[in-house]
């Protein structure tokens, strides 16, 4: 997968429409977490230094296709301007004659932020006329919003049909780390997959069977697999509808020679509560009145052993209920082992990334993906419309 990247574009004096992910949390008119805005700055600053006239577009929240003060980009403009250290003008709309005039009047190095793209239902419908109007504002299109690249919307895909299109640095980095995992990973390639449900991760598990040497399964989804193998799982999470799927997965792993590691011990609780008593279960079987909340130390050791020799690792989904401090140790220990490993490490998934950040280990991971849903779909081997639009 080879993308057109922003460095190849000649942007001097050109109007550049850049799609970013400024969908940040806002409370009482203030941005409470500016991580996503900061993440887009390298591409934005690069374009401005190169003499582009910049038009920035993003979605924000769910205004349901209607203009509303609640979902205006106003608070985001203020934070963006502060971080960029440069005046940012907020357009009164996303498309239309007023915006066209403002775009035309832009000078080199100036920034115009469009209003919330989702003020128009045409955005999510990927309406061609809407995309054409957006495209008419600019000469060049740059996408740096990986988090929405799995959606074919007007600002993520539609506009690319009408403008020369390039990947920003964020998307470039995502693809640089993720594409090899699908195409030609360095072996041994170990996957650590967890999270709550088999149903949400089965497609990625099946896809990983084609590339991985070892798949470690933890989190709530592990118990359905353990049940298939005839173990007692007590009150643990269990998806009856996925018994056949889980069975088939284990069989095809065997056929393909992929080693599957499932929990061999657990930390359990009698109730799903933050302050529930921690019950150590030193074996695979879980008593009837207990639910598995985290993987145990022996399981951590098994995963750690695989990580020692791994050359590439992908992690998606926490090993336990890491939000509860009593049940976060398995996730934390695996995160630490990954941070210590010399393998190329990629972490994707909203909660897994939150866990890595919570433990302060993000800078020890080769690549922490900025897109939850998008990174999962990428690993499933699906074509992401927003990425496809940028391919050479």
Query: Applying CB under 6 A, what is the total number of residues that bind ligand ADP?
Result: 20
The three-class DSSP label of residue 326 is helix
User: Shortest Cβ contact with Mg ion: which residue?
Assistant: 351
Of the candidate spans 28-36, 97-105, 133-141, 344-352, the one that interacts with ligand ADP by CB under 6 A turns out to be 344-352
Q: Which of 42, 179, 200, 309 binds ligand ADP (CB under 6 A)?
A: 200
DSSP string for residues in 205-272 = HHHHTTT-SEEEE-STTHHHHHHHTT--BTT----GGGHHHHHHHHHHHHHHT-EEE--SSEEEESSS
377 touches Mg ion by CB under 5 A: no
- Residue 349 Cβ, how far from Mg ion at the closest point, in Å? 6
Bridge-based pairing of strands 189-193 and 214-217 is: parallel
Of the candidate spans 70-78, 189-197, 334-342, 360-368, the one that interacts with ligand ADP by CB under 6 A turns out to be 189-197
251-259: long-range contacts, CB 8 A cutoff, minimum separation 24: 252/206, 252/209, 253/209, 253/215, 256/209, 256/210, 258/209, 258/212, 258/213, 258/214, 258/215, 259/213, 259/214, 259/215
Of the candidate spans 172-180, 242-250, 253-261, 316-324, the one that interacts with ligand ADP by CB under 6 A turns out to be 316-324
Site string for ligand ADP, 233-252 (x = CB under 6 A): ----x---------------
- Residue 204 Cβ, how far from ligand ADP at the closest point, in Å? 9
Rounded Cα distance between 193 and 376, Å, is: 11
Secondary element (H or E) of residue 55? strand 53-57
Do residues 261 and 279 touch, judged by C-beta distance below 8 A? no
Do residues 316 and 375 touch, judged by C-beta distance below 8 A? yes
220 binds, among ligand ADP, Mg ion, none (CB under 5 to 8 A by kind): ligand ADP
Q: Considering only CA atoms, which of 112, 106, 107 is closest in space to residue 91?
A: 112
Token representation of residue 253: 């792993």
351 touches Mg ion by CB under 5 A: yes
Secondary element (H or E) of residue 346? strand 344-348
351 touches ligand ADP by CB under 6 A: yes
Residues assigned a catalytic role: 36, 197, 350, 373
Token representation of residue 114: 């469009």
Q: Which of 263, 372, 385, 386 binds ligand ADP (CB under 6 A)?
A: 372
- Residue 286 Cβ, how far from ligand ADP at the closest point, in Å? 10
Closest to Mg ion by CB, 122 vs 351, is 351
For residue 188, whether the previous peptide bond is cis, meaning omega lies within 30 degrees of 0, is yes
371 touches ligand ADP by CB under 6 A: no
Closest to ligand ADP by CB, 296 vs 372, is 372
268 binds, among Mg ion, ligand ADP, none (CB under 5 to 8 A by kind): none
Rounded Cα distance between 371 and 151, Å, is: 12
Q: Which of 137, 178, 293, 374 binds ligand ADP (CB under 6 A)?
A: 293
Closest to Mg ion by CB, 9 vs 379, is 379
**Largest pairwise CA distance in the chain:** 70
109 touches ligand ADP by CB under 6 A: no
Q: Which of 168, 185, 263, 318 binds ligand ADP (CB under 6 A)?
A: 318
Do residues 163 and 132 touch, judged by C-beta distance below 8 A? no
Q: Interface residues with Mg ion (CB under 5 A)?
A: 350-351
Q: Interface residues with ligand ADP (CB under 6 A)?
A: 194-196, 200, 219-220, 237, 292-293, 316-318, 320-321, 323, 349-352, 372
């Amino acid at each position: 997968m080879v993308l057109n990247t922003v460095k190849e574009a000649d942007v001097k004096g050109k109007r550049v429409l850049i799609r970013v992910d400024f969908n940040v949390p806002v409370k009482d008119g203030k941005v409470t977490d500016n991580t996503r805005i900061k993440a887009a700055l390298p591409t934005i600053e690069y374009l401005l230094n190169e003499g582009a006239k910049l038009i920035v577009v993003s979605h924000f929240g769910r205004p349901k296709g209607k203009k509303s003060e609640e979902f205006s980009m106003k608070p985001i403009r203020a934070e963006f301007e502060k971080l960029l250290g440069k005046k940012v003008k907020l357009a009164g709309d996303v498309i239309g004659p007023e915006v066209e005039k403002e775009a035309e009047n832009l000078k080199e190095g100036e920034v115009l932020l469009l209003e919330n793209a989702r003020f128009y239902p045409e955005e999510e419908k990927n309406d061609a006329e809407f995309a054409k109007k957006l495209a008419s504002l600019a000469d060049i299109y740059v996408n740096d919003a990986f988090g929405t690249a799995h959606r074919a919307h007007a600002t993520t895909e539609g506009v690319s049909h009408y403008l020369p299109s390039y990947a920003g640095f964020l998307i470039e980095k995502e693809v640089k780390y993720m594409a090899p995992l699908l195409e030609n990973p360095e072996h041994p390639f170990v996957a650590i997959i967890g999270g709550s449900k088999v149903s949400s991760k089965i497609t990625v598990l099946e896809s990983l069977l084609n590339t991985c040497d070892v798949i470690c399964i933890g989190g709530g989804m592990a118990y359905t697999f353990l049940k298939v193998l005839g173990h007692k799982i007590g009150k643990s999470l269990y998806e009856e509808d996925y018994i056949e799927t889980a069975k088939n997965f284990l069989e095809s792993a065997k056929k393909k020679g992929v080693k599957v590691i499932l929990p061999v011990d657990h930390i359990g609780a009698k109730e799903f509560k933050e302050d529930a008593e921690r019950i150590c279960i030193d074996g695979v079987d879980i008593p009837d009145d207990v639910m598995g909340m985290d993987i145990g130390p022996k399981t951590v050791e098994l995963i750690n052993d695989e990580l020692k020799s791994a050359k590439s690792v992908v992690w998606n989904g926490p090993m336990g209920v890491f939000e509860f401090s009593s049940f976060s140790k398995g996730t934390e220990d695996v995160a630490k082992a990954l941070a210590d490993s010399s393998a190329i490490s990629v972490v994707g998934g909203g909660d897994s990334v939150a866990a890595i950040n919570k433990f302060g280990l993000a800078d020890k991971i080769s690549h922490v993906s900025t897109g939850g849903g998008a990174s999962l779909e990428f690993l499933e081997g699906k074509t992401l419309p927003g990425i496809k639009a940028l391919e050479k």
